[in-house]
């Protein structure tokens, strides 16, 4: 499903100073896995996830999804592939404040075309995340946990095979955190999940646990 080969990202701060954010990571994720990557802030987790998702270009190494080398694709093909195959849940909800919950949900579907089926799926997803009655609300009218649920539903609108989640429970209370993680377990029945978090206790929700430290990835 997903294979990383010597994946490396180096940020050059000057001609003499560089930082190796991700250091020769090799990884294989099977279809249906729920992989949790833990590590401290600055360990390289988000950069790794961003490269897997086709958002940040690696310095060298490969990201293979279903055998396709992401970074050998041209920009247009990569964008279409990403929109079709991958759903993103970012650390901060980044909902569009002038759009309703329903409108925010269908934004990723605009590129492939919005029709009646899109709206039906949107309402199905709102039911899944427990927000069917909030379809007409605006982001500022939602709690932090509800906004996070909307971003999760939005990530699923195009029926992705892979969901990448970056610190999806940060700044949430324990009860809401548990509800969000249980939601990811439900999603895992239909999608492969890679979730990064600074909280090692959340590893119990996955079937695979990795630790990131100083750019290196180790399976536990």
Q: What are the tens digits of pLDDT across the range 128-142? A: 999 999 999 999 999
Predicted pLDDT of residue 15? 74
Whether 172 shows a pLDDT value over 90: the answer reads no
Angle of helix 174-187 versus helix 144-155 axis, rounded to 10: 10
pLDDT in tens, 13-35: 777 788 999 999 999 999 999 99
Strand partners, 25: 7
Residues in contact with 77: Cβ distance below 8 Å, sequence separation at least 6, in sequence order: none
Q: Mean pLDDT, the chain, as a whole number?
A: 93
User: Which domain range does residue 142 map to?
Assistant: 2-219
pLDDT at 92: 81
Sign of the C-alpha dihedral computed for residues 86, 89, 94 and 96 taken in this order? positive
Instruction: Output b/e per residue, 131-159; b: 16+ Cβ within 10 A.
Output: beebbeebbeebeebbbbbbbbbbbbbbe
Number of structural domains the chain divides into = 1
Model confidence at 212, pLDDT cuts 50, 70, 90, reads very high
Half-sphere exposure of 136 (CA within 13 A, CB side): 1
pLDDT, residue 143, reads 92
pTM of the predicted model as reported, rounded to 2 decimal places: 0.92
CATH number at residue 177: 3.40.50.300
């Amino acid at each position: 499903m997903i294979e990383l080969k010597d994946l490396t990202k180096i940020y050059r701060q000057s001609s003499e100073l560089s930082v190796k954010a991700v250091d020769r990571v090799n990884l294989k994720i099977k279809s249906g896995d729920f992989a949790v990557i833990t590590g401290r802030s600055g360990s390289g987790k988000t950069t790794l996830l961003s490269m897997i998702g086709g958002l940040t270009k690696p310095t060298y190494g490969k990201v293979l999804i279903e055998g396709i080398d992401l970074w050998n694709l041209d920009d247009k093909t990569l964008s279409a592939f990403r929109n079709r195959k991958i759903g993103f849940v970012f650390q901060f909800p980044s909902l569009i404040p002038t759009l309703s919950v329903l409108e925010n949900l269908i934004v990723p579907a605009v590129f492939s075309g919005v029709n009646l089926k899109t709206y039906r799926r949107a309402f199905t997803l709102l039911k899944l995340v427990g927000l069917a009655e909030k379809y007409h609300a605006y982001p500022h009218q939602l709690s932090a946990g509800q906004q996070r649920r909307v971003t999760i539903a939005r990530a699923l609108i195009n029926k992705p095979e892979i969901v990448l989640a970056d610190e999806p429970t940060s700044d949430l209370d324990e009860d809401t955190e548990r509800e969000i993680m249980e939601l990811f377990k439900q999603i895992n029945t239909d999608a492969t999940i890679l979730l990064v978090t600074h909280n090692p206790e959340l590893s119990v929700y996955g079937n695979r646990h990795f630790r990131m430290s100083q750019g290196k990835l180790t399976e536990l």
